[in-house]
Homo-oligomer: A and B are copies of this chain.
Amino acid sequence: MRRFVLTVRCPDRVGVVAAVTGFIAAHGGWVVEAAQHGDLGTGQFFQRIEILADTLSFGPEDFGARFAEVAGAFDMDWRLSDTDVPKRVVILASTEGHCLADLLYRWRGGDLRCEIATVISNHPDLAPMVEWHGVPFRHVPVTGDTKDEAFARILSLVDQAEADAVVLARYMQILPPEVCDRFPGGIINIHHSFLPSFAGAKPYHQAFERGVKLIGATCHYVTPELDAGPIIEQDTIRIDHADSVEELLRIGRDIERSVLARGLRWHLEDRVLLNGNRTVVFA
């Protein structure tokens, strides 16, 4: 059933929830799901409300005009999503296909509600898998010399795709700062470690060297500072002394793909709100 998802961020004060829910009730809106969070440290208030579209007495195009008074009174930063308008996603991958294959499989089965506009890779290896799913594949090689052109081309493909989200599914290339800054809170990466442990290159090798007893994966928004953006989701899995680096790689693939899939699903369902360099996740 079609739903509108309203997300709100504003300074916390008495009456915010009453104002928003009163507005929705006054126009007949049936609230299917609601969650809120007041951050005592920053004084910010966060809310997410799912409304059955058919019960509201007006459509999404009129929401802004009608909600303006409430939003203004409480100085709200707000956004309305319509589940009938699937978000558009561009995926960047390299040669390792486990995260990409998982996203494509979930998307095909309806678990990830979005349109995968295109998959871009710096290698041609994953083209057959992508194309078998009926998704366009673009090969954009990245070399030391061509980096600027390559990312200009990628930016242009992302713009063309009118992407709401860019997903780095083990892309293995560091995005230039100007790309990161173009989509704040819009680029989602999966890092193959439990951040902040083992940021940067070869995290499984680092984990092996340190002798940790669990390995992990982190899904986070990309910012210009490497592996330091707001964390959306993490998980860990047990290993032991008998596991070689190769086995860590194999074991880690499972947790990478599930952490990325959860993080992306929450993002697509407007369940993730930025709170400085942290996130509020209404999972």
- Chain A interfacial positions (CB closer than 8 Å to B): 14-15, 17-19, 21-22, 24-26, 28-40, 55, 97-98, 101, 105, 109, 111, 132, 194-198, 210-214, 216, 230-236, 240-242, 244, 250, 253-254, 258, 275, 277-281, 283
Q: What's the nearest-Cβ distance from chain B to residue A99, in Å?
A: 11
- Of the candidates B22, B31, B36, B211, the one whose C-beta lies within 8 Å of that of A231 is B211
- Asked whether, in the complex, the Cβ of A213 is within 8 Å of the Cβ of B240, the reply is no
The complex places the Cα of A252 from the Cα of B283 at a distance, in Å, of: 17
Chain B contacts for A253, CB-based, 8 A? 111
Given contacts A211-B279, A213-B231, is CB(A31)–CB(B38) below 8 Å? yes
* Most B C-beta atoms less than 10 A away, residue of A194, A240, A281: A194
Closest Cβ of chain B to A133, distance in Å, is: 10
25 interchain pairs, CB-CB under 8 A: A14-B25, A14-B30, A15-B25, A22-B22, A32-B38, A35-B35, A37-B241, A97-B109, A98-B109, A101-B105, A111-B253, A132-B132, A194-B214, A195-B197, A196-B198, A196-B210, A197-B197, A211-B230, A211-B231, A211-B277, A212-B234, A213-B231, A213-B232, A214-B236, A240-B283
Is there contact, CB below 8 Å, between B37 and A242?
yes
Contacts of A242 in B (CB 8 A): 33, 37
Given known contacts A40-B244, A241-B280, A18 and B14 CB-to-CB distance under 8 angstroms: no
B55 touches A31 (CB 8 A): no
Contact at A234–B213, with CB atoms within 8 Å? yes
Interchain nearest-CB distance for A223 vs B (Å) = 12
> Can you name the residue of chain B whose Cβ is closest to the Cβ of A258?
B254
Nearest chain B residue, comparing its CB with the CB of A242: B37
Contact call B240/A212, Cβ cutoff below 8 A = no
Beta-carbon nearest neighbor of A132 in chain B: B132
Nearest CB in chain B: distance from A51 CB, A: 10
Q: A196 vs B216: C-alpha distance in the bound complex, in angstroms?
A: 12
Chain B residue nearest to A38 in the complex (CB): B32
Taking CB as reference atom, which chain B residue is nearest A240? B281
A39-B241, A213-B231, A236-B236 given; name 20 further pairs at CB < 8 Å: A14-B55, A18-B18, A18-B21, A22-B22, A33-B38, A37-B242, A98-B105, A98-B109, A111-B250, A194-B194, A194-B214, A195-B210, A196-B212, A197-B197, A210-B231, A210-B277, A213-B233, A213-B234, A240-B283, A254-B258
For A97, what are the chain B residues with a Cβ–Cβ distance below 8 Å?
109
Q: A278's closest neighbor in chain B, by CB?
A: B211
Q: A14 to B21: give the CA distance in the assembly, Å.
A: 10
